[in-house]
Amino acid sequence: MVVETVAVAIWAMLPAYIPNNVAVLAGGGRPIDGGRTLDDDNRALGDGKTWRGTAVGTAAGVALALLLNRVHPFVSGVVAAEPFPIAAAVSLSFGAMLGDILASFIKRRTGRRRGAVLPGVDQLDFVVVSLLLTAVVATGWFLDTFTLPVVVAVVVLTPLLHVGTNALAYAVGLKDEPW
Ligand code: CTP
Ligand code: MG
């Protein structure tokens, strides 16, 4: 059923969806690249990727996965997903932050300034890395949860959710750009 597939997709991806949004709220302080530029004279990552944003974002994603595991007994009839193993909680959350960081690295190498858009990459960078990392560190859970229809649902829904939440964050003044 489509509804069940979508429910599993959103449920299982929540620990990957939250970190970047929390990073927007918690970000600031020392940038990960320490202000360094590479040979192309562009910043390695830029001021938009900070230690604090990354740490707090990752912690929030892990905390959410643990919270969802508490709720799981009550929703297991509705959302056919197994509880998050701790390895998956960490890989979904940290993988999402890592994907976003890698995207910034690519953006800087291609001369895009901080905040520039890179359609497609911006919306799916964190999905690809969080899923790959989870497939490696929590393989059994990953294969049980991310069936092909669920992966398709994630790839279709994530850009929509991403664009929606970013537009909202911009509208209420939390982000400098609406993407
Ligand atoms: N942020 C952070 N650490 C991260 C990711 C995000 O501190 N690892 C915070 C920063 O304050 C950043 C904001 O969240 O400015 C928005 O994140 P994002 O859109 O990913 O960064 P941009 O500033 O747009 O920079 P980039 O062009 O590198 O994506
Ligand atoms: Mg950005």
pLDDT in tens, the chain (179 residues): 889 999 999 999 999 999 999 999 998 999 999 999 999 999 999 999 999 999 999 999 999 999 999 999 888 888 889 999 999 999 999 999 999 999 999 999 999 999 898 988 988 999 999 999 999 999 999 999 999 999 999 999 999 998 898 899 899 988 888 87
**Residue 176: strand, helix, or coil:** coil
Of all protein residues, the one whose alpha carbon is nearest to atom 18 of ligand 1 is: 48
> Is residue 99 lining ligand 1, measured as CB closer than 6 Å?
no
Distance CA 57, CA 19 (A): 4
Q: Determine whether the shortest distance from the Cβ of 114 to ligand 1 is under 6 A.
A: yes
Residue 178: inside a domain: no
CA distances, 105 to each of 44, 99, 149 (Å): 6, 10, 31
Q: Is residue 177 part of a domain?
A: no
Q: How many domains does the chain have?
A: 1
Whose C-alpha lies nearest to ligand 1, atom 24? 115
Q: Which domain holds residue 62?
A: 2-171
Q: Does ligand 1 lie within 6 Å of residue 166's CB atom?
A: no
- At 174 the three-state DSSP class reads coil
